[in-house]
Amino acid sequence: MKKVILFVCFACVAASATQAQGIESEVEKRNFIEVFVGVTHDDGENEASLGVTYERKFGRFGTGIIAEFTKAESRESVFALPFFWHPAEPWRTVVAIGVEDSDDGDSFLARVGASYEIEFSGWSLSPEVNFDFVDDSTVLVFGASFVWKF
């Protein structure tokens, strides 16, 4: 039930952020949908990860939601509220707070990470590395996101 409430709250934040901006510039697209494919490294084990991220960009900053799924012994899913900073194009950093769902129950999660965006025609590829701090452990999550801007 906690996951459902948390996900609904994040969806409301994303929806309100989408409507908050009035007239947008045709040149700069402010909404990003990302599909993440990567690896979660925890306690010497590597497991495949798949995730979806939405970002609403406001100048050099942005916010949104993260949903990530891994079928590992230590974790099954992560739902987080990220805060992005774009210090200089094409770099992006993230700090996020959220919940990790595992067989042991829900745990508080803090994430820090960085990515580098490689633009193509109509989409981009963004290699990224993230560190998740959960309880007393650090989990490394790395891979690439396929980004669609609108």
With a cut of 70, say whether residue 126 has pLDDT above it: yes
What integer pLDDT is reported at residue 31 of this predicted model? 95
What integer pLDDT is reported at residue 104 of this predicted model? 80
With a cut of 80, say whether residue 13 has pLDDT above it: no
Least trusted range by pLDDT, from 10-14, 43-47, 133-137:
10-14
What integer pLDDT is reported at residue 73 of this predicted model? 72
Secondary structure of 23-44 in the HEC alphabet? Answer: CCCCCCCCEEEEEEEEEEEECC
With a cut of 60, say whether residue 22 has pLDDT above it: no
With a cut of 60, say whether residue 12 has pLDDT above it: no
Averaged pLDDT score across all residues of the chain? 86
- Exposure string (b/e) for 105-142, b if CB count within 10 Å is 16 or more? eeeebebebebebeeeeeebebebebebebeeeebebb
Q: Give the separation between CA 49 and CA 71, rounded to whole angstroms.
A: 8
Count CA atoms closer than 13 A to 114's CA, side-chain side: 6
pLDDT digits (tens, 9 = 90+) for 41-82: 988 889 999 999 999 999 999 999 999 999 877 788 999 999
Q: Give the separation between CA 84 and CA 114, rounded to whole angstroms.
A: 9
Q: Angle at Cα 118 formed by Cα 117 and Cα 121, nearest 5°?
A: 120
Average pLDDT over residues 115-121: 95
Whole-number percent of the chain with pLDDT over 90: 67
What integer pLDDT is reported at residue 15 of this predicted model? 52
With a cut of 70, say whether residue 11 has pLDDT above it: no
pTM, rounded to two decimals: 0.80
